[in-house]
Structure 1
């Protein structure tokens, strides 16, 4: 496997070697409880005090306080609780406090969630109000000026985690100069990247998280301005001068101290000029590799370590998959929201078109990045572009005939399936259940391979159905089913090979197709790939554990040398991979239905071990084959991400 290129620094970073050493030393030699009064405890306390003083100098806190905690989320919770408790006390004493809890529309979700949580628990009944941002992602100061008289608490950020856009903190502070509102600034992305002089601002609270800058997870800091109200989130033994009870995370504090020392002493992290140069190199490679790319934040208003971009006709998942195949780690927005696969609320707030917010990719690196890594990243970006071109996913001149897809092709979006029936000799295509959101992708794919659309039909309303469609050596016959549903039968002569249906029950096809014809549904909930009437009747091998770990795979390959590894990643992912490891058959999951008949009809059925990046797609493939009666179908559990070494076995 090629070396991993990690470009997701805004989500988390590796741990600085000096930080690892400091944590180990703290656990080995400085293990005392800093609250103890004996020499071992005093030694631990002295180490902690050194780190705290270093943090105060770096952040320019003046007479403000720094407390250690578990990270930014705890810091945000503490700041919100402190501010809202103070507001309740002021209101109870008859003091005017304002009625609005104002937060930036592009804030990390931890902020509005914390505001809503404590507002409800404390019974304040204040109104949560989003502060809009402009097209560049910066806070609308005119809107803030209008809200300031009613604002009780204002939450903004130093730099945005998705776009890298740097906030105008001076402008925000000036706008709030006459307001009594308390002010929190999320400084998570600012540590080590922006000059911070907190003591000379009116910022009341500023949370930090160590793992965003080469410290371990589970350690962070909260700045509290002198005189700002404070309510402990955690009460108990009175540690951290009563600000946050609980025995301190000494290993984490020591590690964070090593990072802060590197910042203060210089020489470890790249200066801004080099970081800007790295970003320019990455941007140039992205422009060359991905025609039509659009960057979603202005470079002159963003951190030099963050690029956020969208590519017409490509989803963020497709881009993430091809980068991941090339061992380049990027993300689609915030790590905390990545699993939800929703459009970026940050880009939505900036007023960007829906296609850009739903297909955005974030590429970010830390100030420890090296020129060697950036150069290699640029080479792999260009490799990804070549892979996407060859697969017809980029709008480029027609691809070679050798790469043209043929047979049945499945495209899925939000649980809905679109099916393309492709006849390579005639270069004709029938589209079943076209989805508008996939239109550009389909048009680009067909155009790049020289296909023409013979017909577009729908299983929901029978649109453009007719009686039959002839294209190449195939015929597509239309069948009306119950409840205004329709089916389309792909035939070669009188033989029905496939039936495509929407939401109608399988029983509606009984008597109309052979029991062993493959049925391709229009919804994920009905079937992820394909099935048959016979398989649905007997229930297949559902519930059987089909997953193999690395050890089980090694044993299977040793016992069955004829076993076949099947890569179900898309062709552009496979093309982006750096060659190496055991040979595998290429059958993208979107093409699985085209290969199933050959496997089922084979005289011998050797073990098939499907694999992909994470194990999700390969599990669907193995389940499909087992359900159709292929007893030796398996999936590599965890995929390449967890078991990459397994694929090199017996190479």
Structure 2
């Protein structure tokens, strides 16, 4: 099995071996309570004091406070509470305070949520206002200059966690100084530690939280710097630990581990230099550009951390890229929901006013300063293999010509669906309800397979005025472009539209709408009993002509916000017996289940490009049937009409396989299960077939 390559360092990092050893020593030998006055406690206190002294040097604390806590969220809460308590006291004394809590529009959600929480609890009724950023993700200093007079508290980041964009802290400080503002200033320094030079005591910054697990320490330990003279109110009161600043017995194992990381920062031998990290990033950039045609980077390289890349690829959803990289055991992150449901675009990229397709389809690739060249080289090789997998699957432009196959393929963006119908023998295809974000992808598939586009159809007048259709025609560039048709794209000469041995029939639904039936061609069209699929667009089941559609014909919608995938009149009318929705199998119990159900089919709903990137999967020598979720509709009808053998679905995470099972249950196929957690939790059982790393 391929080794894992972890490129999600901005989310968390592995624990540095020296840090793990320090934590273990603290638990085994240095386990004393630093508040105790006997020798064991004094030894623990010496370790605590040594770690704090080291932390003060690393961040340049000067005369400021430096306390240990549970992490950045606690630090943010403490800082916000301290500032707002001071503002309340100033207001009570009749002193001037600003009226706005100003925070960067790209801040981590912990900041605005903390502001709203304490503003409400303390009854201050201050206005929360987002400070805009420019197209490069840096704070808009002109907007800050215009609003700083109203600010009571300003919250910004040193570097953004999604994009790695480095804030112009000197520029912000200059605006504060020039305006004479007395606003308190909180700077989230979570991503800065170990990546940017820090000298906090020489700045105007009042509060700076840190989190250990972002730089090779364990989770549950962090630090908060407070400038000398800045107001301070403890978030946790009690026994008076941390000089009364943060009560509760200290997390000595975590602090010892963080101290070991800080020691590594000081010695300069463990972590890579800025120049070395930039060189690593450039190698990743070059491989991404070779692997992913049209890749766009969502951050400026010159003003971003050298350990962070944020990118989008035209025509590919972030979920698809995440699945692809995960199949190759390259761990990256995505903020978007599944491409077949309503996407959740990155609020950071939206604040930068990037196009929706970029903010909704972004991937973050990040690594830490302990990364070595061998891992980057391996990552680059796998990235390029992922590109080969996409080309082999015709998802990006390719000169390859894989064997064509008949198919009904569902593609989705933001809950809307495009359907692609293909016929291998005639090399022809039909596209129903094209979506502009999928134009490049559809065109790449058509060109790669050398299809003739028999028609580009709509189920209703397109809301974009035909822009998506035109974008698709432009991408096709005359390659197999569909003939002109009526307002919905139906060819003027066609009654039924031939698609190999099948025929596509249009059914008018009134008000300029239609739906399409696909089935075995017969005299004069397609008989109701021969209809396999009905492409319904936005039509409700009640609007369909039941005389033309049997109860079990698959309904293929134009919108699928609920991830139903497909339906039937029987299901829509509630004629299907209820099925237990909890048909989950643990990875550990999968082998036993298959042994007790020897006729069960093991079904892999991952896409073909995932297999190409990381290998197909098997269990105990039993190969799985490949049924990509995008092609589930091709098989559902056969399963419903055939013997009800047990079907066991799996995928990378259990998400897609769960949707497949829910779909089958809704259609009345009770003998369907899925592997909860998928390959992510069951790699020992669902082992990918051997493939060289």
Determine helix, strand or coil for the equivalent of 1:363. Answer: strand
The residue number in structure 2 matching 1:489 is 517
Q: CA deviation at 1:349?
A: 2.1
- Work out the number of aligned pairs and report it: 645
Q: Please give the alpha-carbon distance, in whole angstroms, between the structure 2 residues aligned to 1:246 and 1:26.
A: 17
**Equivalents in 1 of 2:644, 2:100: separation in Å?**
67
C-alpha distance after superposition, 1:491-527 (max 9, x if no partner): 2123222222244236945442333433333443677
- Which residue pairs with 2:524 in the alignment? none
Among residues 494, 504, 507, which one is paired with 1:479 in the alignment? Answer: 507
Deviations 1:234-281 (CA, angstroms, capped at 9, x unpaired): 222222111112222121111111111111123221222221111111
CA distance in 1, matches of 2:563, 2:46: 62
User: Equivalent residue for 1:192?
Assistant: 194
Q: Tell me, yes or no, if the aligned pair for 1:550 and 1:646 is still in contact at 8 Å.
A: yes
Q: Deviations over 1:57-83 (max 9, x none)?
A: 111111111111111111111111111
Q: In the alignment, what sits opposite 2:649?
A: 610
Distance 2:435 2:497 in 1: 20
- 2:478 alignment counterpart: none
Structure 1 residues 626 and 88, CA gap change in structure 2 (3 angstroms) = closer
Counterpart of 2:541 in structure 1 is 505
Per the alignment, do residues 266 and 521 of structure 1 end up closer, same or farther by CA in structure 2, a change over 3 Å counting?
same
Q: TM-score, normalised by structure 1?
A: 0.93
Contact 1:387-1:572 at 8 Å conserved across structures: yes
How big is the alpha-carbon RMSD for the aligned residues of Structure 1 and Structure 2? 2.6
Q: Deviations over 1:203-261 (max 9, x none)?
A: 11000000100111111100001100011112222221111122221211111111111
Q: Give the 3 Å change call, closer, same or farther, for CA 562–533 of structure 1 in structure 2.
A: same
Q: Distance in 1 between matches of 2:268 and 2:357?
A: 42
Give the direction of change, closer, same or farther, for the CA distance of 1:235–1:369 in structure 2 (3 Å limit): same
User: Which deviates more, 88-97 or 60-69?
Assistant: 88-97
Deviation for aligned residue 1:535: 5.5
Q: 2: distance between equivalents of 1:627 and 1:159?
A: 47
Q: What's the secondary structure of 1:176's corresponding residue?
A: helix
Residues 483, 504 of structure 1: 8 Å contact kept:
no
Q: How does 1:286-365 map to 2 (within 5 A)?
A: 286-333=288-335, 341-365=343-367
Q: Report the counterpart of residue 468 of structure 2 in structure 1.
A: none
Moved more, 65-74 or 41-50: 41-50
Structure 2 partner of 1:400: 401
Counterpart Cα distance in 2 of 1:552 and 1:507: 44
Residue matched to 1:558: 595
Is contact 1:161-1:334 (8 Å) kept? no
- In 1, the alpha carbon distance for the partners of 2:408 and 2:69 equals 55
Q: Which residue is equivalent to 1:619?
A: 658
Q: Identify which of 381, 384, 395 aligns with 1:382.
A: 384
Q: Report what 2:550 is aligned to.
A: 514
**Structure 1 residue 319, shift from structure 2 partner:** 1.2
CA 1:625–1:101: 2 relative to 1, 3 Å: closer
Counterpart for residue 159 of structure 1:
159
Structure 2 residue corresponding to 1:530, chosen from 566, 569, 589: 566
Report deviation, 1:176: 1.4
Cα distance between partner residues in 1 of 2:232 and 2:516: 67
Q: Find 1:588's aligned residue among 598, 606, 628.
A: 628
Q: Which moved more, 1:58-67 or 1:514-523?
A: 514-523
Q: CA deviation at 1:481?
A: 5.2
Listed as ranges, the matches of 1:26-65 within 5 Å are: 26-65=26-65
Tell me what 1:646 maps to: 685
Q: Cα offset for 1:303? A: 1.0
Q: Distance in 1 between matches of 2:55 and 2:571?
A: 65
Q: Distance in 2 between matches of 1:540 and 1:526?
A: 20
Q: Within 2, Cα distance between the matches of 1:30 and 1:506? A: 72
For 1:323 and 1:648, the matched residues in 2 are separated by: 17
Secondary structure of the structure 1 residue equivalent to 2:294:
coil
Q: In 2 relative to 1, CA 276–650 (structure 1 residues): closer, same or farther, beyond 3 Å?
A: closer
Residue 672 of structure 2: aligned partner: 633
Counterparts of 1:118-129 in structure 2 under 5 Å? 118-129=118-129
Query: 1:578: how far off?
Result: 4.2
Q: Which residue of 1 aligns with 2:582?
A: 545
Q: Give, in whole Å, the separation in 2 of the partners of 1:483 and 1:22.
A: 72
Task: Name stretches of at least 5 consecutive residues in structure 1 with no aligned partner.
Answer: none
- After TM superposition, give the deviation of residue 90 of structure 1 in Å: 1.3
Q: Label 1:154 to 1:627 Cα distance change in 2 as closer, same or farther (>3 A).
A: closer
* In 2: Cα distance, 1:414 partner to 1:216 partner: 37
- Residue pairs, 1:87-98, within 5 angstroms: 87-98=87-98
User: What is the CA-CA distance between 1:573 and the residue it aligns to?
Assistant: 1.4
Mapped to 2, the partners of 1:138 and 1:505 lie a distance apart of 49
Q: Please list, as runs of the form range in 1=range in 2, the aligned pairs for 1:443-454 lying within 5 A after superposition.
A: 443-454=443-454
Give SS of 2:345's match. coil
- 1:600 Cα deviation after fit: 4.3
Secondary structure, aligned partner of 2:283: helix
Residue 542 of structure 1, CA deviation: 2.1
41-50 or 531-540, larger mean C-alpha shift = 531-540
SS in 2 for 1:644: coil
Moved more, 576-585 or 32-41: 576-585
The answer to whether the Cα contact below 8 Å between 2:509 and 2:544 also exists between their aligned partners in 1 is yes
Deviations 1:94-147 (A, max 9, x none): 222222222222211211222222222222232223222222222222332232
8 A contact 1:474–1:492 mirrored in 2: yes
Please, which moves more after superposition, 548-557 or 522-531? 522-531
Q: What is the CA distance between 1:641 and its match in structure 2? A: 0.6
* Counterpart secondary structure, 1:645: coil
Structure 1 stretch displaced more, 186-195 or 296-305: 296-305
CA distance in 2, matches of 1:351, 1:94: 41
Q: Within 5 Å, which residues of 2 pair with 1:56-135?
A: 56-135=56-135
Q: Distance in 1 between matches of 2:167 and 2:640?
A: 60
How do residues 107-256 of structure 1 correspond to structure 2 at under 5 angstroms? 107-177=107-177, 178-256=180-258
The answer on whether the counterparts of 2:581 and 2:665 sit within 8 Å (CA) in structure 1 is no
Q: Report if aligned partners of 1:295, 1:309 keep a CA contact under 8 Å in 2.
A: yes
- Provide the C-alpha distance between the structure 1 equivalents of 2:649 and 2:427, rounded to a whole number of angstroms: 30
Deviation at 1:362, TM superposition (A): 0.9
Name the CA shift for 1:151/1:9 in 2 (closer, same or farther; >3 Å): same
Q: Give, in angstroms, the shift of residue 646 of structure 1.
A: 1.1
